[in-house]
Homo-oligomer: A and B are copies of this chain.
Amino acid sequence: MSSHTVSGQAMVVLFSAGDHRAIAPALQHLAHAQSMGFESHPADAADPEQVFSRLSAEHQQAALVVFGGGQWQAGSALNTPPEAWDAAWRSQCLQGARVGQAAIQAMRPRGAGTLIFLGHTHSVTDAQPARHGPPQAFGAAHAAASAGLRSLAQSMARGFGPQGIHVAHLCIDAPLPWSTRTAPLVAQTCWALHGQGRSAWSHEIDLRCLPEPDDHQPRATI
């Protein structure tokens, strides 16, 4: 892209780990259909700021940034060791903060952009009792980290919405591992959020992904 380009090419940038990685093809397809660029990074990218400074140097604009970190792991609140609490929190909440900060820094100068955090049903802690039976089937560390990520998304939405940046939290309720149908639906929901005009933004959406009727492989349900 020549340096004469003033406005730059709009880009979709995905940071993902675990099941979340599966949304990449659908998100790329949606981006290209709108003549937007797409690039995908691991959720635990060492230096998210560098991603955005490179894009800027290449005269590209981060129009939509999606962060889906972490991975559910079983473990009750009692038998989860400190390293697992730490890993869950780092991969979701801390890395979410780092990616979110870098994205907002990149979006602020032009006062526009969409930042979406992929969260989970149990980030709304009241919803937990509905789905989990015995303590050992519960992912206590993942739930706590998800609650932190949701709080982060709300802080960013409140702080930077008035500056033109649309921050949203997508509360996904899906059997694990995700079925082949789940990922494209998550990608489409991200796209719909990005398409909202700035005079009417959603900040939190739940998305209940059902297993296919003809889907017989055994799954854990979170």
Contact = CB atoms under 8 A, between A and B. Distances in A.
Interface stretch (A4-12, A34-42, A178-186): A178-186
A20 to B, nearest CB: 15
A50 interface: no
Contacts of A130: 129-130
A185 B104 CA distance: 25
Contact of A200 (B86, B98, B138, B209): B209
Contacts of A201: 207-208
A78 B105 contact: yes
Interface in A171-222: 181-182, 185-186, 189, 192, 196-210, 212
A104 to B, nearest CB: 6
Given A104-B78, A125-B150, A144-B155, A200 B206 contact: no
Copies of this chain, tallied across the complex: 4
A50 to B, nearest CB: 15
Contacts of A125: 150-151, 154
Nearest to A97: B85
15 contacts: A76-B155, A76-B159, A77-B159, A78-B101, A82-B97, A140-B155, A140-B159, A181-B199, A182-B199, A182-B200, A185-B199, A199-B209, A199-B210, A202-B206, A205-B206
A147 interface: yes
Interface string A108-145: 00000000000000101111111010010010110111
Contact of A77 (B76, B85, B97, B199): B97
A152 interface: yes
